[in-house]
């Protein structure tokens, strides 16, 4: 059996695999991990659709990476009306099923702001945007015998649990890393609850930490916020990965790992991560990010916030 780890790349994970007739949807295929994930999957025969804010930028970067044949749709995860317009269009376009949906897009440690619908920007984009998008595409995910959803989380979830009493920082001083931690914890909890609700119907969901990769995700980082990150995690946790190494755990969880192994779990370095209770331990996932009661409560809160109920 092949052993994967920190240094594994997407091509290592997919070596010898034929993904012909596998339909994949990926958010955020305009740069970094999204482009590499799309490239690797398309190179192995998958039919790949990318969902992006800027179609022109995405097409240019995909072409430069050699990711040919990737179809693109426009949607802004910071706008529920944009997400709903995209999903309505996608469903009307006659797609018969989605085998793997990768929620890759996201923002990190940005200044305080709100989405088009008034949600705190990181929670609204990283979690609520994907919550609505994934659920509205659920008919296509359930159309085949088995499907997977891979949520891109982060070791940054160790910064903070979700705060369902104050998701918008209306009563809590805003901190860019706390907001990122809340959003990334929400990504894990969404995978936990999605897997619990739909595993009996053939859908499995997992969350992954790609590692530290120098991509556009860090465009809001300043020297101050970067120093806070290093101090919080400790220097021993901050070894950069290449982009192909960073995307490896995503494709492992989505296409190679046993679904019973990764369903409802948090993965890093192409393996299921152990549960920890110390944010400075590595690797590992904080126990609060896998708490089933919190996951169920987050689902209910998310439905209330977006004004839409999803009961599959």
Contact in structure between 222 and 259 (CB atoms under 8 Å): no
Given CA atoms 33, 183, 77, 97 in this order, what sign does their dihedral have? Answer: positive
Strand partners of residue 148: 100, 204
Joined together, the tokens standing for residue 189 give: 């909890």
Strand partners of residue 147: 203
Q: Where are the alpha helices (DSSP H) in 116-218?
A: 121-122, 130-136, 138-141, 176-198
Spatial separation of the C-alpha atoms in residues 283 and 155, rounded to whole Å:
8
Tens of each residue's pLDDT in the chain, 312 residues: 578 999 999 999 999 999 999 999 999 999 999 999 999 999 999 999 999 999 999 999 999 999 989 999 999 999 999 999 999 999 999 999 999 999 999 999 999 999 999 999 999 999 999 999 999 999 999 999 999 999 999 999 999 999 999 999 999 999 999 999 999 999 999 999 999 999 999 999 999 999 999 755 544 445 454 455 555 544 445 589 999 999 999 999 999 999 999 999 999 999 999 999 988 767 899 999 999 999 999 999 999 999 999 998
Q: What is the DSSP letter of 236?
A: G
Give which of 10, 78, 12, 73 is closest to 42, Cα–Cα: 10
Task: Write down the residue that tokens 């860090």 correspond to.
Answer: 218
Report the predicted TM-score, pTM, of the whole model to 2 decimal places.
0.93
**Structure confidence by residue, pLDDT tens digits, 72-112:** 999 999 999 999 999 999 999 999 999 999 999 999 999 99
Spatial separation of the C-alpha atoms in residues 78 and 128, rounded to whole Å:
9
Spatial separation of the C-alpha atoms in residues 282 and 233, rounded to whole Å:
9
For the chain, domain boundaries: 10-304
3-state secondary structure 247-295: CHHHHHHHHHCCHHHHCCCEEECCEECCEECCCCCCCCEEHHHHCHHHH
10-304: CATH architecture: 3-Layer(aba) Sandwich (3.40)
Catalytic residues: 153, 180, 184
């Amino acid at each position: 059996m092949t052993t994967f780890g920190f240094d594994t790349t997407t091509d290592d994970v997919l070596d010898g695999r034929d993904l012909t007739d596998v339909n994949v949807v990926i958010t955020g295929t305009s740069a970094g991990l999204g482009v590499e994930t799309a490239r690797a999957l398309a190179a192995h025969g998958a039919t790949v659709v990318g969902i992006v804010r800027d179609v022109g930028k995405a097409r240019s970067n995909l072409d430069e990476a050699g990711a040919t044949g990737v179809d693109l749709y426009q949607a802004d995860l910071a706008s529920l009306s944009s997400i709903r317009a995209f999903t309505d269009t996608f469903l009307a376009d006659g797609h018969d099923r989605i085998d793997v949906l990768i929620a890759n897009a996201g923002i990190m440690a940005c200044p305080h702001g709100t989405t088009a619908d008034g949600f705190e920007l990181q929670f609204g984009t990283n979690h609520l945007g994907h919550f609505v998008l994934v659920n509205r595409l659920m008919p296509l995910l359930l159309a085949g015998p088995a499907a997977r959803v891979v949520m891109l989380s982060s070791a940054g979830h160790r910064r903070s649990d979700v705060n369902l009493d104050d998701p918008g920082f209306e009563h809590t001083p805003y901190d860019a890393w706390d907001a990122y931690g809340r959003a990334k914890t929400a990504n894990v909890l969404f995978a936990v609850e999605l897997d619990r609700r739909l595993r009996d119907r053939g859908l499995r969901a997992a969350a992954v930490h790609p590692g530290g990769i120098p991509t556009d995700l860090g465009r809001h980082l300043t020297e101050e916020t970067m120093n806070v990150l290093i101090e919080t995690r400790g220097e021993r946790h901050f070894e950069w990965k290449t982009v192909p190494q960073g995307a490896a755990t995503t494709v492992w969880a989505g296409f190679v790992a046993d679904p019973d192994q990764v369903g409802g779990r948090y993965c890093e370095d192409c393996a299921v991560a152990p549960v920890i209770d110390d944010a400075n331990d590595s690797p590992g996932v904080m126990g609060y990010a896998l708490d089933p009661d919190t996951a169920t409560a987050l689902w209910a809160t998310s439905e209330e916030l977006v004004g839409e109920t999803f009961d599959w």
